[in-house]
Amino acid sequence: MSDPVYLDHNATTPVHPAVVDAMLPFLREHFGNPSSGHVYGRRAHDAVDRARTQVAALLGCEPDEVFFTSGGTEANNLAISGVLDALGGQRPHVLTSAVEHPATARPCDRLERHGREVTRVPVDGDGRVRVEDVRPFVRGDTALLTVMLANNETGALMPIRELADLAHAKGALVHTDAAQAVGKLPVRVDALEVDLLSVAGHKLYAPKGVGALYVRRGTPIRPVLLGAGHERGLRPGTENVPHIVALGAACELAGHDLDTEPARQRALRDDLWSHLLEGVPGIRLNGPASERLPNTLNVAFPGVRGSAVLAAAPEVAASTGSACHEGDESPSGVLTAMGMDPATALGSVRLSLGRSTDRMHVADAATALIRAWRIASESCAE
């Protein structure tokens, strides 16, 4: 049996062949420590500097505003905890949304346990934060507004520029988790007016275990980890040179294709949705029709659980947003935050396309999912 059609690119992406080629020399022969003064160290140091420039070019910032991390989770933790630590007790309030990834939500929970006040703004029925809902909660003692740029489950895009304007007017800093958006859409820090922005390598065809945090010059922030003075003292630990090189190559690759690849994936995504609409009466779209990632389609299959549909469709590799604990499923917190009833939320499946997805994949996946829904529906009726 051939491998299933991969429609789970929001979970992780395959490492692009060009990215593999870029990193291999730093796994094989260029093994030096970037902090060493000899030729081996200089080669590694120069490679890290080049990657920093490549990431900066994609984000529209200066290279010295890019700090490498172990991934998006560490970048989010560093942004949130590092800023609050640097500000001390001057501004005790943090503002976030009800649909953040755990890499943002849990650091906020910890801040709250340690005496900070955290406001979690609700989302509308499309899963988007509304500016008018945020405005009453931005205060003079707000330290940080942290809201994701694109939701990992529905693909919903958040109005970060408008939120940044609100926050900055009160003297607050702004962070966005852009892990799902970078490489799928143009993401420019000046256009968003953010002070901090997180990147996860494995969401844009680099390996797992590498990421970056953009920190605007002058932003108060302290390290979360303690050690030597790597990454200009903000993120200690000997640099993971092969993976950093890979992230730089992935960012350069993404920058070359931003004029064409998002539109190609959007067209395929819409074809997939058309097929499903025709074959599954009562299917519904979760999230906004237009203000979402071009590769993301989150749908609720009527009368069944999404997990049952995927179990009956081994030809498709996708995911649900529900959590399973010892056989007991609970609905996605993102979908229930949108006001969706638990049964509908449990019927939902996230289908996320990527660079390798083509029209044949879409047609085959649609056929398999429609057939699987019918099988699951019959099982429920028995």
Quick check: 217 and 110 in contact, CB under 8 A? no
Alpha carbons 283 and 347: distance in angstroms, whole number = 10
Alpha carbons 200 and 115: distance in angstroms, whole number = 29
Quick check: 180 and 149 in contact, CB under 8 A? yes
Q: What angle do CA 4, 267, 202 make, to 5 degrees?
A: 55
Secondary structure E strands in 70-140: 93-97, 117-121
Cα separations (Å) of 143 from 88, 140, 159, 302, 349?
10, 8, 19, 43, 36
Question: Tokens standing for 285?
Answer: 């779209």
Quick check: 150 and 78 in contact, CB under 8 A? no
The verdict on whether 324 is a catalytic residue reads yes
Q: Is 19 exposed, middle or buried (0-12, 13-18, 19+ CB in 10 A)?
A: buried
Alpha carbons 349 and 280: distance in angstroms, whole number = 13
Smallest CA-to-CA distance from 14 within 25, 24, 6, 23 is with 6
Alpha carbons 45 and 47: distance in angstroms, whole number = 5
Choice among 61, 108, 324, 380 that is catalytic: 324
Point out the residues that are catalytic.
Answer: 324
